[in-house]
């Protein structure tokens, strides 16, 4: 199991990702706070090769959101993941989560 952490001063978003390898890929758990938008957000796994996979998505309630916990999976193996990003539905990056 690997832990990844990220915080963005501009957006105020903080996130922790826990990733575990499996034969099929990677199971992922996300804890994110202070998502400043209303609408759909997504956790994206970005591969070392530049590929991207949506791990999970959820509906954000706006500024001051407390802790949001979501989980999902990616076909990418943990060693093939460079970082994760939390993005809005229109692709705006709110926070990058790195090893």
Taking the model in full, what pTM does it have? Answer: 0.94
3-state secondary structure of 78: helix
> Where does 2-97 sit in CATH, by number?
2.60.40
- Domain positions in the chain: 2-97
* 58 strand-pairing partners: 41
Q: How far apart are CA 97 and CA 82, in angstroms?
A: 9
Q: Is 10 left (phi over 0), alpha (psi -120 to 50) or beta?
A: alpha
Render pLDDT for 30-89 as a digit per residue (tens, 0 to 9): 999 988 888 999 999 999 999 999 999 999 987 666 899 999 999 999 999 999 999 999
């Amino acid at each position: 199991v690997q832990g990844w952490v990220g915080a963005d001063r501009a957006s105020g978003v903080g996130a922790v990702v826990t990733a575990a390898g499996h034969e099929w890929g990677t199971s992922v758990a996300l804890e994110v706070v202070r998502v400043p938008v209303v609408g759909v957000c997504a956790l994206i796994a970005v591969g070392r090769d530049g590929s991207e996979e949506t791990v999970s998505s959820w509906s954000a309630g706006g500024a001051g959101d407390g802790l949001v916990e979501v989980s999902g999976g990616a076909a990418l193996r943990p060693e093939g993941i460079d970082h994760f990003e939390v993005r809005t539905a229109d692709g705006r990056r709110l926070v990058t989560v790195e090893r």
